[in-house]
Structure 1
Amino acid sequence: MQQHMTFSGIYSFPALPKLEGGMYDGGENKRLDALRLAMELGADYVDVQLQVAYEFYDSIRGKTFNKTKVIVSSHNYQLTPSMEDLGNLVARIQATGADIVKIATTALDITDVARMFQIMVHSQMADSLRKNSSDTNELWPYTRAKNTNEEYYRTMFHLLDLCVDDRGLISHILCAKFGGYVTFGTLESRVVSASGQPTLKDLLYLYNLRQLSNKLTPDTKVFGIIGKPSIGLNGVYVFLLVDDLANFLRAYSSTEFVGFGVTIPHKEAAIKCCDEVDPVAKSIGAVNCIVRRPTDGKLIGYNTDYVGAVTAIEDGLRGKHNGSSTTISPLASKLFVVIGADVAGKALAYGAKAKGARVVIANRTFENLLMQIGGDALALSDLDNYHPEDGMILTNTTSIGMQPKVDEKPVSKHALKYYSLVFDAVNTPKITRLLKEAEESGATIVTGLEMFMGRTI
């Protein structure tokens, strides 16, 4: 212990006692002696089980440990308790005088994790307000902790999935977003203290916590892939820098290469490279997804570009109308102005028309797109004076306003008052000058990032 005390860390007895669901069945004095020694040597944290917390505090009463914070922890290897029981448990642990509260439970279902997140948020709010309120029961509607220590308590929660696959994994990744004090992982996947526990390498690099460590806040947005079961697919997703798409597909024609995402500048050329093309992609004139059919190895081309943008725009319109949901798209009968006639413009125009919108193409040249998609035409130079009605939808699929030319915009601010929603496919910067001025003009805005996430999911 003395050799390792130069490292910052949490010190706990290697094995949990049987009364906590662990394997240790020795005397408690040995466990508590080890923790007291750690404090004397200047440990940053020691982890004490709730069942022996009062005994531990009695044994160090009158002694001064300026550096060490005491974590008082509770482990439940059977289930995740109800919100009421979790709240009462937090209060019980705080009543011991703990510097940090730690609760580890078993997630039998991923919805169990939500309760843990909720109790983290509730306890943080109650703790931050407690000093300024004479009625802590109003702030914390559970068993009131009789604790004279006025120090502000940070709350550390770990929900460990001890028996069912990866249902508790998100608690390790997202705990900081919900106010958790710290998370942890194992050094090796073969050596874990609980099933489903991530490795430190995965936390830092796969889930990007090295970059997000100071950025996970209550405002952090969370996206996920929903599914069951985990199929354990032996696969890899790699970046492919391709100069000639046809040559690439001929060279990598073996069945191990099962699919490709296609981006600029190969989307239009991909149509000619596929053995079969989905009717939607054929109508748009571009392919962004190629799948190798396992039965015969043929390449099938699809286009999902428009899905993310159209879905994000529909969500924006539904939010503007208090989330009203109907089988009819909110785009139906709307006047939908598309700036740009390239691949992205084609896809968005097609998607909007499929939803019942009246499409208008605004571009320097637009004849080819009109022939493929249909709709009305408008010269880009005339867009500032185009306002046949109020409540129109404006979408920019060009690179106007992209870094480094962030001051550029495709339409004047005075024209934006006629639009109820403005979408910009540019995602660097996230809020372009067009979107900023549209929001100032009273329009709902939809960013390129929202389109990207909708398409990805």
Structure 2
Amino acid sequence: MACKNGLLVCTPLECATLEEMLASMGRAKAEGADLVELCVDSIPFSHISEVKKLIRQRTLPAIVSFRLKSWRTSGKGDCEFLCLQVLRLGLELDVEFVEMDYEMASDIAMAEHLYRREKSKIIVSSYVNGGKPSSEKLGDLIARMQSTGADVIKLVIDVDYITDLAPLFQMLTYCQSIGAVNTIVRRPIDGKLIGYNTDCEASITAIEDALRGYSQVVCMGSKYKLHQYLGKLEHSLLEALRAYECGARLLQEAAEVLFKAGSRAIQIVHRYQSSLKRSRRIRNGFCLDTDPSVLVPLIAIAVGSRGLISQLLGPKFGGFLVYGSLEGKSIPGLPTLVSLKQVYKLEYINSDTKVFGLISNPVGHSKGPILHNPAFRYTGYNGIYVPMLVDDIKEFFETYTGTDFAGFSVGIPHKEAAVGCCDEVHPLAKSIGAVNTIVRRPIDGKLIGYNTDCEASITAIEDALRANTSVINGEASLPSPISGKTFVLVGAGGAGRALAFGAKSRGARVVVFNRKYALLFNMKMKSLSSNPRLLFEKERAKSLAHAVAGEALPYEYLDRFRSENRMILANASAIGMEPNSDQTPISKEALRAYELVFDAVYTPRNTRLLQEAAEVGATVLQKISYASLFWNNSDSKYSSSQGKIYGYRSVGTGMLCLRFYNVSWNTFIGLSIERPSPSPALSLIK
């Protein structure tokens, strides 16, 4: 049922009818789900017997849940009573898991459920929203949730930024090994966070003192003092159970004393029966046994598009299960079940897995995971490549400092800002002023920045032009076919800078058309000075043109610009990218002046710009930004640090040709970087 690493993949089912729920369960089974979450609150049932039918007809192991927040929002009436009815039914029918909200996990409800169940396990869940959650806040909440006696606990967190996920990963890593954390120390040697629980020793001492006092009072026969010590013992026991780290023998002894003391104490013992079984002995103060059989598994979910990696990296940090949605039923923050099973292959992910990803905004268009994850598995490298929706790249690197976050592709709009985040920048990237690949050097954790867009894109353009003139793949002795041509560039961002510098190095005349420059061209400086952002955009286009000895023109001039025939057009802007795939930077008629059209947009693959360019007879070329992988010479030796990657290149009018390359993984896996000579780098898919 579970993956090789013990991870479960669960599909949440929110359906309008019972029939739809059963049909969706069948789809989830076909797509490879290990279990499903039956969100009973989404079904407008009139009688509990309908829920009974659903549970009995399940075709997969299931979590039966009744979300109070969802039910209250719908205004359907008394939810607490109905929730308890549904949960009791799940226990009676021996469903695999029953999930209840933390606010419903009261003493009475939990005691009843703990004694009614035979095969079912109880998940206690809590929804956290309202600002960035701190490690301290989450640690305290987890400790309180564990004290309910739950078999599994679940946190659902609403995050605004990807950096808000860091405390969640910390809790997954440390709270599952010791139950609860109240002290976290960053180890200087490697920067890792080490969690401790200093409540444990204090709790043990308090219980021992209370038990000693109780024994003495019993011998003396003093009823007054007996009551006093029972009160102390009860308080110490409750504190110890909340801390969750006291020795099992002491807790059991204290529980037996309270059990004999009266009905109120009996309720306390029943309430924490499950806790007693899971408690562990302390060894040497802070050293705790971490027998997996006594751990309380944690499920962690971050809601929203920035929370996607909470699921993709769940198995690395110790998550009990991850969620994947059905194909065609996307849920913000959840990957699809198909992608989990076919692209990310989470069964191969463990605590030693290195994390790589695309830092961009937007990031949904990324094809990087489709290339890199199979390539990691092919080469036997323990890594995972994930999309990372980042708003502030500086804050991102300040938050994720661990060496396990080992390498990054950098996309729109962070390529220029990424330069300032690196400890070292490759000379080419520094001269361009943009970075598209960052590697964390394992030996010291420093961030090293590179730019592979430049050589990769320009070489692809050269090869396509040479193919048109029947020259076999560019002999080194021949001059560049770009030399002397007019290179028209749309966009002055990071990708545009790389293309401009590459074209200049080949002897082309570069003309920059920045879309935002059209608005600025006729504005007075007084207006510009009141809008620093607009002024920045104008200066960026002009400074790029100056750096490559070219010129910057307003975007509105693009359709009329024709300095010569057989020019080269490169779109390095986001024009034409999904969801605006109907847009194009230039009219179809104006494309007749171009010999070759290059588009850096790769979602959709065949953009409107490329379609219209092919229709008027131009050679079209799409950038398949296949990340910072270096293309070795044909005589390079194949080694364990190299893999074979398929990449698409367009050659000839409107044609897409599949070519086979040996590529070195040296950049991404942090080994020494081989400078390809004379063949340049093949750009990495982002």
Higher relative contact order, structure no. (Cα contacts within 8 Å, ≥ 6 residues apart)? 2
Greater share of helix residues, 1 or 2? Answer: 2
Normalised by the length of structure 1, the TM-score is 0.47
Normalised by the length of structure 2, the TM-score is 0.32
